[in-house]
Amino acid sequence: MIFYQKNMLPQPPSIRQSKGSVLLFSLWFTAGLLGIIFFLLTLSRETIKTTKDLLDKLEAQLQAESTIELLKFYGATGKFTPQRIENAHLQDLGIPSSFPLTGKAVQLEKAKFLKEVKVCLQDTGGKINVWALSPFVLRRLLIIKGIDDSSVNALIDSLMDWYDKDDLHRLNGAETHYYEVEKGFRYGPRNYPAPQSIYELSLIKGFNNPEIWEKISPYLSLYPRGMMNINTMDEYLLMAALDVPEEIAKQLLRLREEKGFLTLNDVSAIAGKRMEKLAEVIGIFPTMVVEVKVEAYCNGAREHIYCSIDFRPDERSPYRILEFSY
């Protein structure tokens, strides 16, 4: 007689299929669970990264805004010299005792509560004021910046047409017919010499060329109507404003660096020019209206603030914010 152990007996097909289904379900369930876990981990990492980036951005914004507030106090309580703002009240906080007004970037490396902040201050007297614009200075600057004569003529004529009150275009200029009919723009010339922004000039025929606008826009300012300051101009604007060659401008810059400032007598001695006429429009002291650019960084995040501050006090305030943008 032959005996079989119970576990040696062949199992019915239904039992084998049931076990296979359970195994397959377990594998699918495990794979799905692992997928969900992987998704949640990825989502968590992305959430953490997004949160960190947001915190870095907020920190950079806080740093930039704090710097603007600091500079308001700095300028309102400081002393303006021909080329700089001086203020020794904040040295304990690691703030420099002076800032140049020439647009040169200053890194606030030693500031106790600021990290990776860069500041640029530019006296508006070191730029061309678009409300009291001299076409002769602008023409020379355009030529110095490498723009050909025919384009310069068109730029100057178009600018004058934008400013004047009539609708008769100059030889190379443009009036309403050009903008609205020929080009189909939904605007025409202002017909008044008071643009509301320097960027308004980028609407003018010729100035709307990106290459030309990139060359000329850094030299334009809306504030204020006053004398140009030879102590805060760069080399190219010195050449244009004083109508001197490059070598003379370089000599003036070297002397300015050595002395800390230039006088009209210095210009007369080096350039060999009589300064009586230029003295009506060229000065040696800042306008006290300052264009401020602040860049703050935090772990790759960046915040940029631009503003114009008028530090000429009146009975209501020691300064005024003329323009502010992020």
Question: Beta strand pairing status for 301-310 and 289-298?
Answer: antiparallel
Final residue of a structural domain among 219, 239, 261: 219
Q: Is the pLDDT of residue 22 over 50?
A: yes
Mean pLDDT on 110-123: 86
Q: What is the pLDDT of residues 125-154, one digit of tens each?
A: 999 998 888 889 999 999 999 999 999 999
Final residue of a structural domain among 163, 191, 219: 219
Mean pLDDT on 187-197: 90
Q: Measured in whole angstroms, how far is the alpha carbon of residue 107 from the centre of its chain? A: 16
Question: What are the backbone angles phi and psi of residue 193, rounded to the nearest 5°?
Answer: -80, 55
Q: Is the pLDDT of residue 7 over 60?
A: no
Cα–Cα dist 98/154, whole Å: 42
**pLDDT value, residue 1:** 47
**pLDDT value, residue 14:** 56
Which two tokens mark 253?
Answer: 């810059």
Tell me if 3 is assigned to some domain: no
Residue carrying the six token digits 């049931």: 18
Q: In the chain, how many domains are there? A: 2
Q: What mean pLDDT value characterizes the chain? A: 87
Final residue of a structural domain among 219, 247, 267: 219
The lowest-confidence range among 17-31, 44-58, 72-86, 257-271 is 17-31
CATH of the domain at 166: 1.10.40.60
Long-range pairs for 299-308: beta carbons < 8 A, 24 or more residues apart: 299/52, 299/56, 300/53, 300/56, 301/53, 301/56, 301/57, 301/59, 301/60, 302/60, 303/57, 303/60, 303/61, 303/63, 303/64, 304/64, 305/64, 305/65, 305/67, 305/68, 307/68, 308/124, 308/222, 308/223
Does residue 167 share a domain with residue 105? no
Cα–Cα dist 234/323, whole Å: 23
93: containing domain: 53-126+287-325
Does residue 165 share a domain with residue 91? no
Cα–Cα dist 274/116, whole Å: 46
pLDDT above 70 covers a percentage of the chain that reads 91
Tell me if 29 is assigned to some domain: no
Which two tokens mark 33?
Answer: 């669970």
Does residue 180 share a domain with residue 140? yes
Tell me if 39 is assigned to some domain: no
Helix intervals (H) in the chain: 13-77, 135-144, 149-163, 176, 210-216, 235-242, 246-259, 264-271
Cα–Cα dist 239/262, whole Å: 15
Please report which confidence band the pLDDT of residue 19 belongs to, taking 50, 70 and 90 as the band edges.
low
Q: Is the pLDDT of residue 95 over 60?
A: yes
Cα–Cα dist 32/13, whole Å: 28
Tell me which residue of 83, 17, 68, 65 sits closest to 229, measured CA to CA. Answer: 83
**pLDDT value, residue 20:** 60
